[in-house]
Structure 1
Amino acid sequence: MSIDRRFSISATAALFPVLLLCGWLVVHEWRAYVGADDALRAFEAYRAGLEAVEKVSAERGPTNSLLGQALPIPQAMMLSLRRARDDSDARIEKLLAMLQADRCQSCVVEPARIAEARSELADARANADRLIDLPLASRRERALTGAVDRMIGIVPQFAPAINALAANVVKGDAGALNCLILATLSADLREYAGQLGSHFTAALTARRPLDEDDQLAIERTEGRIDQLRALIDAHVRGRPALNSLAFDRMNREYFGVGIAYITDVRRLATRAGGAGISPGQLANRYVPQMRSISAFRDQVLDLAQTEVRRHREEAMALLAGSALASFLLIAALLSMVMLFRRRVIRPLLDATRVIGAIANGDLTAEVPAAPYRDEVKAMFDAIDVLKANSVERDRLERERASLIYELKTMAETDFLTRLLNRRAFESRARATCAEQNAAAPELALIMFDLDHFKKINDTYGHDTGDRALQIVAALCRETCRPSDIVARWGGEEFAVLSRVHDAAQALAIADRLRRRIRETRIPFEGGEGFTMTASFGVAFGLASASACDSGDVGRLFRRADRLLYQAKEAGRDRVVADPTTVLDDAP
């Protein structure tokens, strides 16, 4: 055992307990910081979830108004509904983006359920739109009630994700628990307040009195609102930060004006002719009172966010302090060890270390520049020569590898267009065919040929024809996707190989490229230039290793070529696909 090894073992044995203690401290503080950071990310997603639920709930207001509005629908009411739906979609997209974000591991909870709720929301909207398009007299009460219930049923589907996010926040910062409970209660209160107004839609639209089912639904919802109010009061009591102007405003506007208005409408709706107002009129008076609930919820969320951020900043400060203290302690100990090693041990081992590094191919090892004398100096001079020779040999080998790579690139590239040539395209096509990609299972081969290209060469000259080919190659690079394989097949013929989800995706690529070629003007010296067209053939196959082995790639090329010539025979400037589908600009 060398003296360097014995010294290293002794130094490690002395430093290990210190390193272990410092490491444990830093890891502990790191986990606390990660938990606090995850709590902040989860809180942001939690808040986005509550806002998405609010927008979906608020969307019912203009929907109910239109369900009770006779045709023709005023443009202002349609615009209000469209704006409400756009707000809902934007909030749901924001929530999904947060749930699927890699940076927030704790936020990845049930995105599929949110996406399913979004799909069901679209179906509920379509159902409501069908009723709105009918004359008012043709809108059956059962259909109206069903449309309202479907819209109401969307909101509960967000609850599992929102509750999971709240649990993640509390896991990272238990101090935010009360605010989260209060925010959830406020969000529930906003939802049930909206449901309370929705229960009048069918009766107001039919201009009839409330029946027993309507009365029962209203009683049940009012009871739940009373429970939520009592729970909110219990959580606010004794907490000055929560007992604020927003809380007073909610009590005054919603529980005062809003509930009183609903009580009046309910009383009027017991008469034989109904309340005598439309759902839109109810929404115009009632919905503004619910905004005080959202304002109180936002204040509670702001308090919770302040708490979560403060907890994260404290965790970050503790982490930074423990890391800095550990670093300084370890650095001081290591400095003493390294100083002793450099002045006592290293001169004995430098020669062996450098020679061993060069022998192992490590040409970055520095030869000691200390003022050695006599034989030791001659040895280090010889090591310098050995290192220089090794560096030169390594440089020559790198130049050789670079030259081989350049030759390979030249062999695979068309010199005029800088696209792949035919041989390289066929090789990459077989490799692409063998790849597995569930998102793009189909293989689409797009072959196209410039129409009347010989006439272009004869009319404008071969230099202009070459320029036209280069412009088409540039259009291919701009139009096709980065994953597509593009090549000059030969002459004026080009090929594009794409992995696609379905045939429509490939046809869209081909038609977009066809249009760009047709719309691009080729410059010509001495003239205004000219345009040209191209004919396309698109063949499809299922990508798999077995298909590649059986020769399906060759058949795919032949089918695409045959479809290309069908496009030529059909009049050029069009896309012919397999099975035969023609895309052109004919009216």
Structure 2
Amino acid sequence: MKLSKLFALATLVLALLISSMLARILAGEWRHYQATRAGLQALQLAHQAMLAAEKVSLERGPANALMGADAPDAAARQRLADARLGSDATLAALQAALAGAPRQPDAALLAVGKARAALAAARRGVDAVAAQPRAARAPAQIRGAVQHMFDVVPLVMQAVTALSQRAEAVYPQFSGALMSARIAVELREYAGRLGSHFTAALTAQQALSEEDTAHINVLRGRIEQLRLLTTLSPNEANADARVAVALQTMEARYFGDGLAFAGGIVAASKAGRPYGMDSAQFAAGYVPAMQSILQVRDALLALSIDGARQASEQAQRELLLASCLGAAMLLMLAGLLYILRRRVVRPLLWATRAVVDIANGDLDTPVRVSQRRDEIGDMQHALLRLRASNLEKRQLELERQHLIEQLRVSADTDYLTGTLNRRAFTAAGKAMARRCQEHGLPLALIIFDIDYFKAVNDECGHDAGDLVLIRIAELVGRELCDGDILARYGGEEFIVMPVNCDLAGARGVAERLRAAIAAAPIRLPDGASLRVTASFGVTAAGGTPATLDGLFRSADAALYNAKKLGRNRVECG
């Protein structure tokens, strides 16, 4: 195997091995970075899903107020309409975000779709109750409408759970904070349900039923359990200042003021006292206290999202660092191989190529010479001297060939016009005649000379006559197609052999040339402008093979006829 191929193969194998190792490392870093991005996105979507659950829960307030009012006014209906618009917008945005996030669980998207359908059905139940007179609104019907609204939030929470689990798989260090955030959302939901269980009693201004009382007691017990899970969970998130402040606020606002406000309704019901408020007034006093629960949720989520964002940024930095290190390794490898190739392999290859070229008589390849004082340097200088000697011999040979070529061109070219001369035309014309005869192609010949050319020489001088011949040759050369033969046959007479033309086609060529000559003024050295014309004789081969001499005689006779008939015309023979 040649040294160049061996070196290239070794370089390729080494580059593949190192590239494979780097690709494996970079692929792992890339997957880790993608996972952190997907986990961060799952956290953000989980937060968005929690906000959607919050909007649905908040919609129950104006819905309960509308079902509990004597005659719902326009303001109450507008509050419900605004709440519904908020719920719809949040759920639609969540559904669109999930649909555009292919790396997130499909269960979340499915749960949001079910929640939107369930919410639409629950709203129809609320509207059916609110459309009846207050006296006709049965408590069981109100409880059923409220329960249907309750059933929407768990569907949204399914999406929250799926997204949280996706995030926890990537960020296990935030699993405690995420669990506490979900507990806070559940706590907010049960707090809302607790308030909704007063709607039927406040609407009818009746004592709480045994069923309502039982539900309220169960809900208070569940709320207390969730309170303990939120505040006493062994979770590093509780040490965060934001979370600690939010927990203190929740204790004061909801578990202090909110539950006390709800307890007053229970006490009034047991004592048989008037409530002194309707469901809308109760919602206005109770719902704001629940916002403190959402502050706990938001603090826990902010802690998790900030940590996930930092982890994603760290993964991105690690990916960038791995990429830079990999690129540096490849550059170092390339540099080492480059130095080895430049100092050892390439000089040997150049020397080998130079020796082979000189032996084959090819001296165009230069010999690379360096200032090295080793065997390679000595070999390069020896090759340089050998090449110089051979170059000198080749230069002499080239000069000889160039002189021969100049003589050949001079023999074939008209010295004045640069077109073919008569001898060269004869050779070229015979070759074209043979090709046309072999392939069955038409063959035509055009002869023209300049009218009254002797008068041009006599009146303007021979220099002007020479200029006319030169300009006419240039003009005709531009008008002809590639492959057409143009020659100066003698004096002012020119001959044209167009390619693949019959008699009609050759006549057309001649007419075009005649018109071009007649229309082109020729400016003389003294500034005067001169117009000349030319007469044309055209002929073409008949049914039998024709010789070049026969075509010439026929075209010459046609030219004579053109002159006889008045010049500046085309005649066919």
* TM-score normalised per structure 1: 0.57
- Percent identity for Structure 1 against Structure 2: 32
Aligned pairs (5 A) from 1:99-498: 99-102=98-101, 104-235=102-233, 239-241=239-241, 243-272=243-272, 275-338=275-338, 340-341=340-341
Residue 3 of structure 1 and its aligned partner are, at CA, apart by 4.7
Q: Determine the C-alpha separation between the residues in 1 that align with 2:341 and 2:131.
A: 88
Q: Determine the C-alpha separation between the residues in 1 that align with 2:332 and 2:4.
A: 20
Q: Determine the C-alpha separation between the residues in 2 that align with 1:36 and 1:345.
A: 47
For residues 340-373 of structure 1, the C-alpha deviation after alignment (integer angstroms, 9 at most, x for no partner) is 55787789999xxxxxxxxxxxxxxxxxxxxx99
Q: Determine the C-alpha separation between the residues in 1 that align with 2:4 and 2:128.
A: 85
Q: Determine the C-alpha separation between the residues in 2 that align with 1:66 and 1:298.
A: 29
After TM superposition, the runs of 4+ consecutive aligned structure 1 residues lying more than 6 A away are: 342-350, 372-375, 377-380
Q: Determine the C-alpha separation between the residues in 2 that align with 1:376 and 1:171.
A: 70
Amino acid at match of 1:156: P
Q: How many residues matched?
A: 358
Which residue of structure 1 aligns with residue 35 of structure 2? 35
Q: Determine the C-alpha separation between the residues in 2 that align with 1:4 and 1:158.
A: 68
1:6 to 1:59, Cα distance in 2 relative to 1, 3 A: same
1:135 to 1:227, Cα distance in 2 relative to 1, 3 A: same
For residues 217-274 of structure 1, the C-alpha deviation after alignment (integer angstroms, 9 at most, x for no partner) is 1111111100000011113776143553222111101000000011111111234476
Amino acid at match of 1:41: Q
Larger radius of gyration between Structure 1 and Structure 2:
2
Structure 1, unaligned stretches of length 5 or more? 351-371, 381-587
Structure 2, unaligned stretches of length 5 or more? 351-357, 367-573
1:70 to 1:2, Cα distance in 2 relative to 1, 3 A: farther
Aligned pairs (5 A) from 1:3-42: 3-42=3-42
1:151 to 1:373, Cα distance in 2 relative to 1, 3 A: farther
1:347 to 1:260, Cα distance in 2 relative to 1, 3 A: same
1:343 to 1:206, Cα distance in 2 relative to 1, 3 A: same
1:376 to 1:337, Cα distance in 2 relative to 1, 3 A: farther
Q: Determine the C-alpha separation between the residues in 2 that align with 1:379 and 1:132.
A: 99
Judge conservation of contact 2:231–2:247 (CA < 8 Å) in 1.
Answer: no
1:333 to 1:227, Cα distance in 2 relative to 1, 3 A: same
1:377 to 1:129, Cα distance in 2 relative to 1, 3 A: farther
Which residue of structure 2 aligns with residue 455 of structure 1? none
Amino acid at match of 2:256: G
Amino acid at match of 1:296: V
Q: Determine the C-alpha separation between the residues in 2 that align with 1:32 and 1:305.
A: 17
Judge conservation of contact 1:185–1:228 (CA < 8 Å) in 2.
Answer: yes
Amino acid at match of 2:85: D
Judge conservation of contact 2:42–2:166 (CA < 8 Å) in 1.
Answer: yes
Which residue of structure 2 aligns with residue 570 of structure 1? none
Judge conservation of contact 2:122–2:145 (CA < 8 Å) in 1.
Answer: yes
Amino acid at match of 2:12: T
Residue 378 of structure 1 and its aligned partner are, at CA, apart by 7.1
Judge conservation of contact 1:210–1:274 (CA < 8 Å) in 2.
Answer: no
Matched, 1:62 2:62: yes
1:243 to 1:98, Cα distance in 2 relative to 1, 3 A: closer
Judge conservation of contact 1:179–1:301 (CA < 8 Å) in 2.
Answer: yes
Amino acid at match of 2:286: Y
For residues 60-98 of structure 1, the C-alpha deviation after alignment (integer angstroms, 9 at most, x for no partner) is 001000000112x22221121111111111111121122
Amino acid at match of 1:76: A
Amino acid at match of 1:291: Q
**Residue 97 of structure 1: SS of its match in structure 2?**
helix
Judge conservation of contact 2:4–2:345 (CA < 8 Å) in 1.
Answer: yes
1:377 to 1:124, Cα distance in 2 relative to 1, 3 A: farther
Judge conservation of contact 2:243–2:296 (CA < 8 Å) in 1.
Answer: no
* TM-score normalised per structure 2: 0.58
Judge conservation of contact 2:243–2:299 (CA < 8 Å) in 1.
Answer: no
Amino acid at match of 2:214: L
Q: Determine the C-alpha separation between the residues in 1 that align with 2:142 and 2:36.
A: 47
Residue 278 of structure 1 and its aligned partner are, at CA, apart by 1.2
**Residue 328 of structure 1: SS of its match in structure 2?**
helix
1:77 to 1:4, Cα distance in 2 relative to 1, 3 A: farther
**Residue 337 of structure 2: SS of its match in structure 1?**
helix
Judge conservation of contact 1:101–1:107 (CA < 8 Å) in 2.
Answer: no
Q: Determine the C-alpha separation between the residues in 2 that align with 1:327 and 1:120.
A: 55
CA-based RMSD: 2.8
Judge conservation of contact 1:208–1:273 (CA < 8 Å) in 2.
Answer: no
Which residue of structure 1 aligns with residue 86 of structure 2? 87
Q: Determine the C-alpha separation between the residues in 2 that align with 1:141 and 1:82.
A: 23
Judge conservation of contact 1:40–1:169 (CA < 8 Å) in 2.
Answer: yes
Q: Determine the C-alpha separation between the residues in 1 that align with 2:267 and 2:114.
A: 39
Which residue of structure 2 aligns with residue 442 of structure 1? none
Q: Determine the C-alpha separation between the residues in 2 that align with 1:9 and 1:274.
A: 97
